Amino acid sequence: MRREFSDAIEKIALEDEKVVFITGDLGYNALENLQKKMGKRFINAGVAEQNMVGLAAGMAYKGFKVFCYSIAPFVVYRCWEQFRNDVCLHNLPVFLVGNGGGYGYGIMGSSHHAIEDLAGLSSLQNVKCWIPAFSDEVEPFVNQIISEGRPAYLRLGAGKSTPSLEKDFDSIKLLIKPNNAKASIVALGPIVGNVIKVLQNEAFKDKFNLFTAYQLPLKVESEAFAIIQEAKNVLVVEEHVSIGGLAQQLSIQLLENGISLNKFISLRAEGYPDGFYGDQGFHQAQSGLDEKNIAEKLRLLLDIF
């Protein structure tokens, strides 16, 4: 998604001279086009993320729209205080962009993983977190971020193009809706790719609704609630901890709207159960986010009937 993001920023920057891009000394082999096209509006702040966000807040106060880019844990955890105090509380147009959300940076270890980022940022005032599941969502999300002009976080990963779409419900999309679905799967971000592969199995075809959540804090329309309630069972899949993530935010909204379920299963980032590090696939398997475990949970839901 990094290339799609870079291309989207280039289009916007050429149309709007108030757009500024600041990188924390990252983005090689992906952002050179921006550096060339934006000139002085492309700033390398160095390895100084707190200063990067403070600078962005000052520029936003003067009327600029500022993107701050780094890998996800660096742009979120290192400057959370500056983003909260300098940007969010003043509702300024500063947009954090984190590449490699979840376990995206794999073997580089926990310091390079972002599995609590959405919990921290979606709890702040005036913030919207955008989590594309597919590469073709990046450009429209960037355009919406600019249009709204409020604090935002864009969490990038690696995803293919949207395979199907039934309907868009505010902050979630319905990709698949068969008749008489046995359960609803709600996935967050590119991990939905694992779910889609599992649903291609004949045993699971035409048996599950499939939603992707692309925005936190989560807001769900009544029509989407009706679809979820009709199926009576939910499987949440997210490469993020459940506390403050999709599972918790969805469960609260279900309770507040009086939605009763037979079964609610949460598959989420489990951290580092045995203390070892590996690639992204290794950590997904450790957390039960791999295709094999997703398939097991779907079989469990089918066995209810």
pLDDT in tens, 229-258: 999 999 999 999 999 999 999 999 999 999
Which tokens is 131 given? Answer: 């989590």
Burial class (CB in 10 A: 0-12, 13-18, 19+), 166: middle
In the chain, the largest separation of any two C-alpha atoms, in whole Å, equals 62
The CATH number of residue 258's host domain is 3.40.50.920
Residue 93 has a pLDDT of 98
- Are 49 and 145 in a shared domain? yes
- Whole-angstrom CA distances from 217 to 116, 140, 222, 245 are 14, 19, 16, 9
Q: By percentage, how much of the chain surpasses pLDDT 90? A: 91
Instruction: Give the phi and the psi of residue 28 in degrees, each rounded to 5.
Output: -70, 145
Q: For all residues of the chain together, what is the average pLDDT?
A: 95
- Are 181 and 292 in a shared domain? yes
Q: How many Å separate Cα 9 from the centre of its chain?
A: 18
pLDDT tens per residue, range 161-217: 999 999 999 899 999 999 999 999 999 999 999 999 999 999 999 999 999 999 999
Residue type, 192: V
Q: Give the number of domains in the chain.
A: 2
The pTM for the full model equals 0.95
Burial 170-198 (b: 16+ CB within 10 A, else e): ebbbbbbbeeebbbbbbbbbbbbbbbbeb
Q: Residue 232: inside a domain, yes or no?
A: yes
- Are 7 and 117 in a shared domain? yes
Residue 304 has a pLDDT of 65
- Are 148 and 243 in a shared domain? no
* Strands across the sheet containing 215-216: 42-44, 19-23, 65-71, 94-99, 152-156, 128-130, 215-216
Residue 54: partners with Cβ closer than 8 Å, 6 or more residues away:
82, 86
Three-state SS at 63: coil
Q: Residue 145: inside a domain, yes or no?
A: yes
Question: Parallel, antiparallel, or unpaired for β 167-169 and 263-267?
Answer: unpaired
pLDDT at 58 over 80: yes
Residue 136: partners with Cβ closer than 8 Å, 6 or more residues away:
4, 161, 162
- Are 53 and 126 in a shared domain? yes
pLDDT at 305 over 60: no
- Are 132 and 253 in a shared domain? no
pLDDT at 30 over 80: no
Least confident of 31-45, 105-119, 222-236: 31-45
The DSSP letter of residue 74 is H
Three-state SS at 165: coil
Of the three residues 156, 188, 210, the one that is the final residue of a domain is: 156
Cα angle for residues 289, 134, 71 (degrees, 5° grid): 75
The CATH number of residue 30's host domain is 3.40.50.970
- Whole-angstrom CA distances from 147 to 29, 82, 115, 127, 151 are 28, 23, 28, 14, 11
Question: Parallel, antiparallel, or unpaired for β 172-176 and 65-71?
Answer: unpaired
- Are 140 and 10 in a shared domain? yes
- Are 282 and 182 in a shared domain? yes
**Quick one: which H or E segment has residue 241?**
none
Q: Residue 162: inside a domain, yes or no?
A: no
Range of the domain at 130: 2-156
Q: Residue 217: inside a domain, yes or no?
A: yes
Q: Residue 31: inside a domain, yes or no?
A: yes
124 within 8 A of 131, measured Cβ to Cβ: no
